[in-house]
Amino acid sequence: MAVKLPDVKHNWSHKRNTVTIGATRDAGGTRNHSIQVGGESTLPFYHFEGDIPNPPAVAMEVWDIPPEDWPEPIREPFQEVGHTPGEWARKCVEEYGAECICLRLKGCDPHGANRSPEEAVLSAKSILESVGVPLIVWGCGNDEKDNDVFPLLAEAIAGENCLLGTITQDNYKTLTALCTAYGHKLIAESPVDINIAKQVNILALDAGFPLENIVIYPTSGALGYGIEYVYSIMERSTIAGLRGDKAMAMPILCDIGIEVWKTKEARASQDEIPEWGDANRRGALWEATTAYVYLLAGADILILRHPEAVQAVKTFIKKLMGGES
């Protein structure tokens, strides 16, 4: 006798926010296209249960200075263009299929090259002139310096609807005001803590910034380095948004490349640890596998480095969205 299984589909009461990055000429910018992320009415890739209108977006990382500390397997693909952000971005888009570029202002770090706000503007503009995809701009991580750089930068790229970051619970007022004034979106950063993530969003809202224009960055760990904890925070955030918590209904960004290429598994040469195999493939595989995990946790934007990881992840996304392999 056949047993009828119960209907286990769950109808969530709300959707996650949809955030648009990049402005075309019709919208006052210069991008060839914009990208929409978020908007899901169900858990990641549960197509049988709800709507997933927008596939996750894959961004590639570009620095404003040559990345001298990158190991050879990740430095080699950009060897000829690593000194010029615009050319680097063009290669990422035209050869490797990046859907978005993330400019990391590593050179502005006062403990490093200490590049000026004017130099940061030149880097951003060179990318905007070289490619037509949306732009993410990530500060150097020094609060004081970022608060000096972003006023000039946000104004210089006004109208392009970029995604700027990051704001934290201790440093949010300057960038929040700038994104309001110049029409950009915000990355809200928190240290793998769902309560702090919500608090940062509320602080931005209290400062007059719409929750609908925020992307959450809950911090990203590489495979084998606390990834299960980040996964649980992302999953809880997604469920909270689907249940109607407006302060947690944002799309999620994962900054994967920078974390993966700090690990010994990605950096160690084959001479150092022969039993780990080909270093030229190992790091790319570590990066792609990390991305797979975060896609299943609910990531909407993935920032990657290695071209092979980008191709593998884009193929994986296509399969998860129901497309052909």
CATH number at residue 114: 3.20.20.20
| Residue whose pair of structure tokens reads 């549960």 in the numeric block | 46
- What pLDDT tens digit does each residue of the chain (325 aa) get? 566 656 678 889 999 999 999 999 999 999 999 999 999 999 999 999 999 999 999 999 999 999 999 999 999 999 999 999 999 999 999 999 999 999 999 999 999 999 999 999 999 999 999 999 999 999 999 999 999 999 999 999 999 999 999 999 999 999 999 999 999 999 999 999 999 999 999 999 999 999 999 999 999 999 999 999 999 999 999 999 999 999 999 999 999 999 999 999 999 999 999 999 999 899 999 999 999 999 999 999 999 999 999 999 999 999 999 976 5
Tell me, rounded to whole angstroms, the distance of Cα 88 from its chain centroid.
18
Domain limits at 238? 18-320
In a domain, 219, yes or no: yes
In a domain, 52, yes or no: yes
In a domain, 81, yes or no: yes
In the chain, the number of structural domains is 1
In a domain, 43, yes or no: yes
**C-alpha Rg value of the chain to the nearest Å:** 19
Contact 161, 21 (CB under 8 A): yes
Contact 21, 37 (CB under 8 A): yes
In a domain, 255, yes or no: yes
CB count within 10 Å of CB 324 equals 6
d(CA 75, CA 43): 36
d(CA 230, CA 191): 9
3-state secondary structure 286-325: HHHHHHHHHHHHCCCEEEECCHHHHHHHHHHHHHHCCCCC
Q: Is 285 helix (H, G, I), strand (E, B) or coil?
A: helix
In a domain, 227, yes or no: yes
At 21, give phi and psi (nearest 5°): -120, 135
pLDDT for the residue numbered 10: 85
d(CA 125, CA 120): 9
Helix residue ranges, H only, 159-206: 173-182, 194-206
In a domain, 4, yes or no: no
Q: Which tens digit of pLDDT belongs to each residue from 217-252?
A: 999 999 999 999 999 999 999 999 999 999 999 999
Task: Name the DSSP class of 163.
Answer: E
pLDDT for the residue numbered 39: 98
Q: Is 271 helix (H, G, I), strand (E, B) or coil?
A: coil
Contact 61, 161 (CB under 8 A): no
CB count within 10 Å of CB 152 equals 15
In this prediction the pTM is 0.95
Q: Is 4 helix (H, G, I), strand (E, B) or coil?
A: coil
d(CA 241, CA 248): 5
In a domain, 126, yes or no: yes
Q: Is 6 helix (H, G, I), strand (E, B) or coil?
A: coil
* Length reported for the chain: 325
